Amino acid sequence: MNILLHGITILPEFHTYIQQLIQVFENQGQAVWVTESLHPSIRDTGSRQSISILPEDNTGMETMDFVISIGGDGTLLDTISRVAAREVPVLGINTGRMGFLATIAKEEIALAAEDLMAGRYALEDRSLVCLESSIPLFDGLNFGLNEFTIHKRDTSSMITVHTYIDGDYLNSYWSDGLIVSTPTGSTGYSLSCGGPLISPIARNFVITPVSPHNLNVRPIVVSDDSEITFKIEGRSEKFLVSLDSRSTPIDASVDLKIKKEKFVAKLVKFPNYSFFDTLRQKLNWGFDMRN
133 has binding-site annotation: no
Q: Going by DSSP bridges, is the β-strand pair 66-71/2-7 parallel, antiparallel, or unpaired? A: parallel
* Cα 15–Cα 16–Cα 18 angle in degrees, nearest 5: 65
146 has binding-site annotation: yes
DSSP labels, 218-230: --EEEETT--EEE
* Cα 255–Cα 79–Cα 207 angle in degrees, nearest 5: 40
141 has binding-site annotation: no
Q: Do the beta carbons of residue 7 and residue 69 sit within 8 Å?
A: yes
Taking only Cα atoms into account, the Rg of the chain, rounded to an integer number of angstroms, comes to: 20
176 has binding-site annotation: yes
List CB contacts of 118: < 8 A, sequence separation 6 or more. Answer: none
Distance (Å, rounded) from C-alpha 32 to C-alpha 2? 6
190 has binding-site annotation: yes
74 has binding-site annotation: yes
Task: Find the helix or strand (DSSP H, E) in which 171 lies.
Answer: strand 168-175
192 has binding-site annotation: yes
Phi, then psi, of 271 in degrees rounded to 5: -55, -30
Q: Going by DSSP bridges, is the β-strand pair 90-94/256-260 parallel, antiparallel, or unpaired? A: unpaired
Name the E strands within 36-98.
Answer: 52-54, 66-71, 90-94
187 has binding-site annotation: yes
Whether 73 is catalytic is yes
Which of 44, 57, 73, 288 is flagged as catalytic?
73
Q: Do the beta carbons of residue 149 and residue 184 sit within 8 Å?
A: no
171 has binding-site annotation: no
List CB contacts of 129: < 8 A, sequence separation 6 or more. Answer: 143, 144, 145, 146, 147, 148, 180, 181, 182, 185, 205, 243, 258, 259, 260, 261
Tell me which residues are annotated as active site. 73
Binding-site residue set for NAD(+): 73-74, 146-147, 176, 187-192
Question: Residues marked as binding?
Answer: 73-74, 146-147, 176, 187-192
